[in-house]
Amino acid sequence: MSDKGLINTSELGRTVHRCREERGLSLRDLARETGISASTLSRIENGAGKPDADNIARLARWLEVPLERIMTVRRRDETDPKPVIYFPHESTPAIVEAHLRADRNLTPETAKALSELFRVAYAQFSRAGRPKAANKRR
């Protein structure tokens, strides 16, 4: 087994930070919602902290993603595609991001860029990105 951990902490931190900002929450707000101290959350978001199992589970629950999405499990055959695991209620941009990250033909940087591009386009063109009054007229 390699010395690399089972949790991709930098990816977890980026995801927590992005979702926290999308929801308009401060670190203290998120601390109240998750039961994780603001200082620990800050370290996780900055990639400086290694969250324990309880905090990983709390963050997965808050992010509303399967714990398996956060885990980086070693595969027997590196040519096998990574499974993409998601909950049916997850947003489309989150699911697309998971698929892009799992695509072995894309570098992590390219997957991240495409994911952000999709988020912007989705917010602009989807019903979810429109004001509620616009949705009612349809």
Task: Give pLDDT tens digits for 77-120.
Answer: 555 555 565 666 778 888 888 888 878 888 989 999 999 999 99
Shared-domain flag, residues 63 and 126: no
Q: Which of 74, 99, 128 is the last residue of a domain?
A: 74
Shared-domain flag, residues 11 and 57: yes
Residue 59's alpha-carbon distances to 41, 67, 75, 125, in angstroms, are: 10, 9, 24, 29
Helix (H, G, I), strand (E, B) or coil at 34: helix
The model's pLDDT over 6-34, given as tens digits with 9 standing for 90+, comes to 777 777 888 898 889 888 999 999 999 99
Q: Provide the domain limits for residue 5.
A: 1-74
Domain count of the chain? 2
Shared-domain flag, residues 137 and 99: yes
Shared-domain flag, residues 62 and 98: no
Helix 27-34 and helix 53-63: axis angle, to 10°? Answer: 100
